[in-house]
Amino acid sequence: MGHDHDHHGQDHDHGHSHVHEANESNLKRVMVALVLTGAFMVVEIVGGIISGSLALLADAGHMLTDTMALALAAMAFYVCRRPPDGKLTFGYQRFQILAAFVNGLSLIAVVGWILFEAVNRFLSPNEILGETMLAVATAGLVVNLLSFAVLHTGDQENLNIRGAALHVAGDLLGSVAAIVAAIVIIYTGWTLIDPILSVAVAALILKSAWSLVKRSAHVLLEGAPEWLNREVMQERIVRGVPGVGEIHHVHVWGLTPQQLMLTMHMSLSEKGQSQTDVLRDVKQFLLDEYGIGHATIEVDVEGCSDQQIR
C-alpha cells in the first residue's frame, strides 16, 4: 500500500505565488473601497443632520454596515497571508470564505432593516428636503461607482471580493434610488416614492446576498465544486491515464473555490507497475484538467485497506 502527498514543486510553488499575488491585489482593492465608503459615510451623516433627512441618515446607517463589512473583508485577506502552522495545517485561506458568509448574512440583515424602515415610512410619511437629498445622493453615486469599479475589476471568483462588491452594489443601487426619489419629491412632493424604491432595491440585494450565503456555506461545508461531475472525472482518469485500474472513495473540496483538494483510493491495472509514475501522471491529469493542485492518493495493492479495518 502506498501514500503520495507530494506535489510537483514548480506547480505547487507557482500556485501559492499566484494566490499570494491575487490576495495582495484584492487587499489593496478592498482598502480603497473601505476608505471611499467610510469617508462618504461621514459626509452623508453631516448632510442628513443639516437637511433633517431621515432617508440620508438611514442610508448612512447602511453605509456604516458596509464599512464594517469591507473592514472584515480586508482583515480576511490580511489574515489569510499567514503561513500554515501546527493548529491550522492548511493555512488561513478559509478565513476569506468565513468573511464572505458573514457579509452575506449581514446583507440579509440590511434587507430586513430596509423593509422595516419602508413599512414605517408607508405608515408615517416623513418630510424630505429633495434638493439636499439629490445633492448628497449624487455625490454618493460617484463614490459608489468608484468603489464598485475598483472591486469589480478584481478577482470575481473570490467569494470575499464578491461579498464586498455586493455591499457596494447595494449602496450603488441605493444611491440611484435616492436620486430618482429626490427628483420625484422635488417635482411632485410625493414622498412615498422613497420607501417604494427602497423595497425594490432590497429585493435585488436579497437575491445576490442569498446566492453569496449559499456559495460560501457550500465551501464551508466542504462541498464539491458545483461544476464538477465526480463520476465523469473518475471515468476520465481511468480512460486517460495509463496504469490506472479502479478508483473509489473520491472526495473533492476546496479551501476556497480556487484552491481545490482531493483524496481518493486507486488500484493499478497491472502488477509490477511503478506506483510513483502512475501517481505522478494522475496528479498531473488532475491539475491540468480540473485545477486540483493538492491530491492525496492511496494505492490499494491487496484490496481496499478501509474495508479491512474492524
> What is residue 308's predicted lDDT score, i.e. its pLDDT?
57
> How far apart are the C-alpha atoms of 246 and 297, rounded to whole Å?
12
Positions in the chain whose pLDDT score sits under 50: 1-15
> How far apart are the C-alpha atoms of 202 and 108, rounded to whole Å?
9
Buried b (16+ CB within 10 A) or exposed e, 136-156: bbeebbebbebbbebbeebbe
Indicate the helix (H) or strand (E) that contains 167. Answer: helix 159-188
> What is residue 169's predicted lDDT score, i.e. its pLDDT?
86
Rg over alpha carbons for the chain, rounded to the nearest Å, is 26
> How far apart are the C-alpha atoms of 257 and 280, rounded to whole Å?
24
> What is residue 217's predicted lDDT score, i.e. its pLDDT?
95
Residue 249: strand, helix, or coil: strand
Q: Terminus-to-terminus CA distance in the chain, angstroms?
A: 18
Q: Measured at the alpha carbon of residue 238, what is the angle toward residues 295 and 12, in degrees to the nearest 5? A: 25
> How far apart are the C-alpha atoms of 173 and 56, rounded to whole Å?
14
Indicate the helix (H) or strand (E) that contains 92. Answer: none
This prediction's pTM: 0.76
Buried b (16+ CB within 10 A) or exposed e, 47-86: bbeebebbbbbbbbbbbbbbbbbbbbbbebbeebeeeeee
> How far apart are the C-alpha atoms of 298 and 263, rounded to whole Å?
8
> What is residue 309's predicted lDDT score, i.e. its pLDDT?
57
Beta carbons of 34 and 71 less than 8 angstroms apart: yes
Question: pLDDT for 89-130, tens place per residue?
Answer: 888 888 888 988 998 898 898 889 888 888 888 888 877 778
> What is residue 54's predicted lDDT score, i.e. its pLDDT?
63
**4 forms bridges with which residues in the sheet?**
297
> How far apart are the C-alpha atoms of 283 and 230, rounded to whole Å?
16
Question: Counting Cβ atoms within 10 Å, is residue 124 exposed (0-12), middle (13-18) or buried (19+)?
Answer: exposed
